[in-house]
Amino acid sequence: MQCTCPQCGSKAFKRNGYTRHGKQNHRCLDCGRQFSLELFHFSTDEVFADLVEGVAVASHETSLV
């Protein structure tokens, strides 16, 4: 699952300290925006695909037993 900058959509960012609430801050290398990674930054299709893949793997493993 790839995360992107919420402002410009770039995948190029680096860690940049912590928020006052203890979350990891990141800074986009393209636009300079600072943000913390949240689930809503991931595309819904990627989250759904990973969820379906996890369920498929789990059901395949149980059918082998």
Q: Return the domain boundaries, the chain.
A: 13-63
Report how far residue 18's alpha carbon sits from residue 9's, in angstroms, rounded to the nearest whole number: 21
Amino acid at 59: S
Q: Find the helix or strand (DSSP H, E) in which 36 lies.
A: strand 34-36
φ and ψ at residue 27, rounded to 5 degrees? -125, 130
Could you tell me the pTM of the whole model? 0.54
Q: Contact 13/28 with Cβ under 8 angstroms? A: yes
pLDDT of residue 41: 47
* Whether residue 40 has pLDDT greater than 70: no
Percentage of the chain modeled with pLDDT above 90:
45
- Paired strand residues for 13: 28
Name the pLDDT band for 61 (thresholds 50, 70, 90).
Answer: low
Helix H segments across 1-65? 44-63
Mean pLDDT, residues 39-58 taken together: 63
